[in-house]
Chains A and B, each alone.
Chain A
Amino acid sequence: MDAYEVNVYTTKLELEEDIPEELKYLVLDNPFTICQTIKQAYPLNEFRDNIIFLISLNGIGSILGMHIVNIGTLPRHRYRYRELMTKIISNALSNNATKIAVVHYYPNEEYQTNLDSKLAKRIKNAANVFNIRLSQYLCMNQKEEYMKIV
């Protein structure tokens, strides 16, 4: 029988150089800084849909990565919730995040706080399984007004 090679891995951490200089040492520990960072990183005025942003953070709160995890209205079905949760936790784990911040951007001013609270609770529970803390869950609108859910 032919021999086959199997790779044995250990997890390692490497320096990441592609994060912009101005974001490198920014500590995202309050809602205002988080909203400002998202505004700097994405052209929010051009978005017409609701968007959920995920920011992966390290223990002291500096950025390891930013992702758009959902475009459109919040999922109402269980399987879509699962998809969203998988996306959030996969991205956070791939960035080696120990904390995450989630921002729900509304192009209008009508926050759906009950759905956001529900989603925040689910994210918090899912993240706990992987020793990740949901440090902030915010809703923000075009006028840069924000509402803290977590």
Chain B
Amino acid sequence: MIALSSLNRIKTGLELEKTVETTNWYITGPTNAVKLVEDVFKIRDKANQQFAVIYLDNSFNIVGLSLVHAGTANGVSVSMRDVFQPALLLDSKRIVVVQNNPDSFLRVTNKVRAIKKKLKRAERILDIEVIDYIIVSPFSQEIYSLGCEGQLN
């Protein structure tokens, strides 16, 4: 972000950080969503909790990717503003979120449930669908998809 004095008129935009090459150009399921995030951010091996978002259009084509928040080893504070602002600017209609859990195995903690609740509330207001919330852990090569487990609603 560029720091500006509070009196200056500002507008929000997106800065292109990098362009990565991938063979995934649309999301077919949680496995390839995680593969894409792993290729770009390598969040599974990070020591702190990170929260990445894949922005998709109506046809599930990837329109952008962003590492929204990085927290501490056992928690990450996620602001809905930061998750959904890029979606509006990219004209994305669907999002997939991927979070790592460095201090634990794959499980749905109370913190995850709280974030999910906030995501669902924001989804209803902005009409941008959260199609999956995936958890990865360094202790397992498996992934936990709340969407596939029917825990997203």
Contact = CB atoms under 8 A, between A and B. Distances in A.
Interface of A: 1-17, 19, 24-25, 58-60, 62-64, 82, 85-86, 89-90, 93-96, 126, 129-132
Task: Say whether chain A's binding surface is mostly helix, strand, loop, or mixed.
Answer: mixed
Given A9-B86, A13-B11, A58-B6, A3 B126 contact: no
5 closest residue pairs by CB, A with B:
A4-B25, A96-B12, A12-B15, A16-B9, A9-B14
Interface string B17-40: 111111111000000000010001
Given A14-B2, A129-B121, 13 more contacts: A3-B23, A5-B22, A6-B20, A7-B64, A8-B16, A11-B13, A13-B4, A13-B13, A15-B4, A15-B9, A90-B88, A96-B85, A126-B125
B41 to A, nearest CB: 8
Contacts of B19: 5-8
B70 to A, nearest CB: 12
B152 interface: no
B10 A96 contact: yes
A119 B65 CA distance: 34
Interface residues of B, number: 48
B6 A59 contact: yes
Nearest to B65: A8
Given A11-B14, A16-B11, A86-B125, A3 B85 contact: no
